[in-house]
Homo-oligomer: A and B are copies of this chain.
């Protein structure tokens, strides 16, 4: 089983991801959480160790309801590596928010890995690793 090139699947995965992010950055953890598989494993810069299983991730993420907001984001250079029923989605993400004086500022920069698994019910996320980009990359940001 070698890597498959299928632009329509790449588009489908990226659209799912963006739909989840749109809800997350509007304060709704259900956006990404509803995409997860029961067996998901998860890392981010605040997790004390890897989180294992949807329940652990729900317990971790639900307190963020209403707490997360970005005015907009840019998903840079998304790539889907497809092997059978596994699609590895990777991208850099820049989020932006307005300050008190209404000027827009970069909020966060991410290295994002989301692994999707195709099931009879559709695509489910079985692993996520979200981490910070090198801050030195600021000078080359768009």
Identify the A interface with B (CB < 8 A): 1-3, 39, 41, 43-50, 52, 76-77, 79, 81, 83-86, 88, 90-92, 111, 113, 115, 117-119, 126-127, 129, 131-134, 136-137, 140
Say yes or no: A47-B90 contact (C-beta < 8 A), given A52-B79, A83-B117, A84-B84: no
- Complex: how many Å from CA A45 to CA B111? 8
Q: Is the CB–CB distance between B43 and A111 below 8 Å?
A: yes
Contact of A47 among B46, B48, B91, B134 (CB under 8 A): B134
Closest chain B CB from A79 CB (angstroms): 6
Contact of A77 among B49, B83, B113 (CB under 8 A): B49
Contact of A126 among B85, B88, B91 (CB under 8 A): B88
Contact of A1 among B3, B43, B84, B136 (CB under 8 A): B84
**A41, A48, A76 interface centre (most CB from chain B within 10 Å):** A48
Q: Is the CB–CB distance between A90 and B131 below 8 Å?
A: no
Q: Is the CB–CB distance between B81 and A41 below 8 Å?
A: yes
Q: What residues of chain B lie closer than 8 Å to A2, measured between beta carbons?
A: 119
Q: Is the CB–CB distance between A92 and B49 below 8 Å?
A: yes
Taking A52-B79, A84-B84, A86-B86 as known contacts, 11 extra A-B pairs with beta carbons closer than 8 A to each other, sorted by chain A number, are A39-B81, A41-B81, A43-B113, A45-B134, A47-B111, A47-B134, A49-B92, A50-B90, A83-B86, A83-B117, A129-B129
